[in-house]
Structure 1
Amino acid sequence: MSKYVLCIVLMFLLVKPEPSTAVTCDPMQLSSCASAISSSSPPSAMCCAKLKEQKPCLCQYMKNPNLQKLINSPNSRKVAIQCGSPFPSC
């Protein structure tokens, strides 16, 4: 029985929990999506990655009068859907 306890203790010591990474809200991170939003071209892989990364910030961006029209545009929502990251309901 003590061998099992020792194995369990060793497992807990060896397995490190992954630290959670905080998102830095920076609308400039979405600049790779500009061409997809302004035209009908498909979003790039970089755009989709950045959009998913910045998703927790989208509600904050929608409240910003300078970004509101861009973020709420039909093309922005279309890009988000194409990237598999629909907009949150704020």
Structure 2
Amino acid sequence: MKASCIALCAVVVLLLAEAQVSMAVTCSPTQLSSCVSAITSSSPPSKLCCSKIKEQKPCLCQYLRNPNLKRFINTPNARKVASTCGTPFPRC
């Protein structure tokens, strides 16, 4: 009983720590500039692009609500880049 309580507490602490990291992201679409060539052509995304997509994942719905950004982010190539990087495209 005591061990399961400690394990549960550890999981809660890890989840809270992850939530704080997610909240600390500064949404800046310019952070995705390293992905432009992969989104506009058929070239594979760079490691930097993938890390930036993962970093900016909490912001993607906000970007999709912006008409100026949506036309670049909501494209088949952008979805392919996100998938290649292992970041599921958000359902907003």
TM-score by length of 2: 0.76
Give the number of equivalent residue pairs: 74
- Between structure 1 and structure 2, the one with the greater Rg is 1
1:67-78 to structure 2, matched below 5 A, reads 67-78=69-80
What is the match of residue 38 of structure 2? 36
Residue 57 in structure 1 maps to residue 59 in structure 2: yes
- Distance in 2 (CA, whole Å) between partners of 1:51 and 1:18 is 20
Given the superposition, is the C-alpha separation of residues 18 and 72 from structure 1 closer, same or farther in structure 2, using an over 3 Å criterion?
A: closer
- Distance in 2 (CA, whole Å) between partners of 1:89 and 1:79 is 16
- Distance in 2 (CA, whole Å) between partners of 1:82 and 1:65 is 25
- Distance in 1 (CA, whole Å) between partners of 2:17 and 2:74 is 34
Percent identity of the aligned residues?
68
Residue 65 of structure 1, CA deviation: 0.8
Gaps of at least 5 residues in structure 1 are 1-16
**Cα-to-partner distance string for 1:5-42 (whole Å, 9 max, x where unaligned):** xxxxxxxxxxxx96833000000000000000010000
Residue 49 of structure 2 aligns to a residue in which SS? helix
RMSD of aligned C-alpha atoms?
Answer: 1.5
What is the match of residue 88 of structure 1? 90
Q: Give structure 1 regions of 4+ aligned residues with deviation exceeding 2 angstroms.
A: 17-21
